[in-house]
A and B are shown apart, each in its own frame.
Chain A
């Protein structure tokens, strides 16, 4: 992920990358990818050997921010078990530059963060999961065999327990 943003960064601003100390820039991001629901949907329905933990959150959502470290820890501790974490931000599109990007850099988030920018909430909330009322935070854990959705906050323990039920049903 860091690498990907590096590529974006370098290709966007070659001159700057040359001038600046690349190491200094390495952990900072300057772009968050923005997806419509149709584009995001691919990431919610992958059919491979990996297990995906997808968290819907926003920088202004206090319970979301509180549980972010647990998702980061899952990413770190389950990376070798084929688990990937995706953080789908529902921040206001106008606040990406001002709030979301500085937040990611300040917290040094390692999981991939994307923005879901799609007005037709009434369609995609239901499409992501029929039980979701739309409240944040919410989390989807899935692989090709199992799929569970949670409209709730997690502790590290409860998140890991749920992940385990998907990994070893």
Chain B
């Protein structure tokens, strides 16, 4: 009986702790150094940032299949990879959603969508949702630009200033930031915001 009580107490304590670890003010800030991760790509290979020996940095984008704001940005994400992979800043896309809480965001669904759209970049699955909380990602799409060799966060936020309408973009935040980094300059804009879909976590998981 006493043992059960202890187990229950520990469980409750864990629940409370995990509830707090998902607060939006947690996660990497601009200037922080990120930890590498190892996530499964849609071609079933495991991908880590350390494999990209020649990269100068990364455009890490939390995105998914089902969020209309992500879908509205797919072509822009593909264009970013086309433009910047060759220059040393490849796009790394990560789906942070729990498919149990977001139907259509499963690993097999990701393969289908990537093929349909012709993704030219890795589309990784945050299985177990261990990576997005470290970044402090709250929504899709949510961009983190990281520079090597220190794996430093240079920018957090939106792709541009018009998530709903690609024709109305006047400021391309991600492009501007990467251009500045490539030119050896300090980014002028390091934090922006855009509307997005909340990251879906399974309610029964205790977050």
Is B198 a contact partner of A121 (Cβ separation < 8 A)? Answer: no
Q: Which residues of B contact A137 (CB under 8 A)?
A: 198
Interface centre among A62, A63, A119 (most CB of B within 10 A): A119
Fill in one digit per residue for A137-165: 1 if any B CB lies within 8 Å of its CB, else 0. 10000000000000101000000000000
| Binary interface encoding of chain B residues 153-164 relative to chain A, with 1 for a CB under 8 A from any of its CBs, else 0 | 000011001111
Cβ of A119 and Cβ of B168 under 8 Å apart? yes
Secondary structure at the B interface, as helix, strand, loop or mixed, is loop
Residues of A within 8 A of B169 (CB): 119
Contact residues of B between 149 and 206, Cβ < 8 Å to A = 157-158, 161-165, 168-171, 173, 192-200
Inter-chain CB contacts under 8 Å: number: 75
- Within 8 Å by CB of A133, from B161, B168, B193, lies B193
Are B165 and A93 within 8 A (Cβ)? yes
B48 contacts the other chain (CB 8 A): no
Q: Is A135 an interface residue (CB 8 A)?
A: yes
Task: Confirm or deny: B24 has a beta carbon within 8 angstroms of a beta carbon on chain A.
Answer: yes
Does B128 interact with chain A (Cβ within 8 Å)?
no
Residue of B nearest to A116 (CB): B195
Contact with A along B55-67 (1 / 0, CB 8 A): 0000000000000
A132 & B162 in contact (Cβ 8 Å cutoff): no
Q: Are B138 and A135 in contact (CB under 8 A)?
A: yes
With both chains docked as a complex, state the minimum distance between the C-beta of B195 and any C-beta of chain A, in angstroms.
5
Q: How far is A153 from B165 in the complex, measured between Cα atoms in Å?
A: 26
The interface residues of chain A lying within 8 Å CB-to-CB of B162 are: 119, 121
A19 to B46, CA, bound (A): 66
Q: Is the interface of A mostly helix, strand, loop or mixed?
A: loop
Contact, CB under 8 Å: A134 / B170: no
Select from chain B the residue with minimum beta-carbon distance to A132.
Answer: B193
In the complex the two chains form, is B195's CB within 8 Å of A125's CB? yes
User: Chain B residues near A151 (CB, 8 Å)?
Assistant: 24, 138, 198
Alpha-carbon distance A131/B136, docked complex (angstroms): 13
A49 within 8 A of B: no
- Among residues of A, the one whose C-beta sits closest to the C-beta of B72 is A92
**CB-CB contacts below 8 Å: A38-90 with B:** 58, 60-63, 90
Is A122 positioned at the interface, with any CB of B under 8 Å from its CB? yes
How distant is the Cα of A62 from the Cα of B101 in the complex, in angstroms? 10
A16 within 8 A of B: no
CB distance from B123 to the nearest CB of A (A): 21
Neighbouring A residues of B161 by C-beta, 8 Å:
119-122
A93 to B164, CA, bound (A): 8
The reply to whether A122 and B192 contact each other, CB–CB distance below 8 Å, is: yes
Complex interface: chain A residues within 8 A of B198 (CB): 61, 63, 135-137, 151, 153
A133/B139 in contact, CB under 8 A: yes
Interface residues of A (CB under 8 A from B): 58, 60-63, 90, 92-93, 119-122, 125-126, 131-137, 151, 153
Q: A62-B102, A125-B193 are in contact. List 4 more A-B contacts (CB 8 A).
A: A119-B162, A134-B138, A136-B195, A137-B198
12 contacts between A and B (CB under 8 A): A63-B198, A92-B68, A92-B165, A119-B169, A120-B161, A121-B162, A122-B173, A122-B194, A125-B195, A134-B158, A134-B193, A135-B139
